[in-house]
Amino acid sequence: MASRYNEYAKLQKIVAQDMAEWIVAHSQNKQKAAFDIGAGTGFLAQSLPNWNITQLDIAWGMCQQAQPYGRVINADMHQLPIKADAAQTIISSLTWQWSDNPDQLVQEIARIMAPDGEVMGAIPVTKSLHLLKEVIGSNRFKK
């Protein structure tokens, strides 16, 4: 249930906060506007308060929870209702690994990204899963 998601999404929040710091430090986007694919309840938008984030998520309940943090669009990441070349910055945290069609996802990201755009994402990979165990055991993961 989306209304209780944040109670259990400690790792997602930590990753979003770390990613937001990285975006602020490394983004070339002077307009500070981005599309967050798989925004969930809005952790990235909350962590980037000076940015104009359009949050996209397939789950309507998640979109409702994210609404206080900016514009939301209920959409599938494989068929985004965004014009071609419209996205200067595309961000995503712990979402793309859920794609059942990674080729289509990459094509869709390429379609909406502006020619000089940037993509920034955080995904778990096999060799990073041991880090997950460390984070879960650390004080940082506890309330």
pLDDT in tens, 1-47: 666 766 766 778 888 999 999 999 999 998 899 999 999 999 999 99
pLDDT tens track for 54-92: 999 999 999 999 999 999 999 999 999 999 999 999 999
* Contact by Cβ (8 Å): 6, 37: no
Full strand arrangement of the beta sheet holding 72-74:
72-74, 52-57, 33-37, 87-93, 113-122
Instruction: Assign 38 to helix, strand or coil.
Output: coil
- Give the mean model confidence (pLDDT) for residues 97-106: 89
Model pTM? 0.84
Give the pLDDT confidence score for residue 137 in this predicted structure: 56
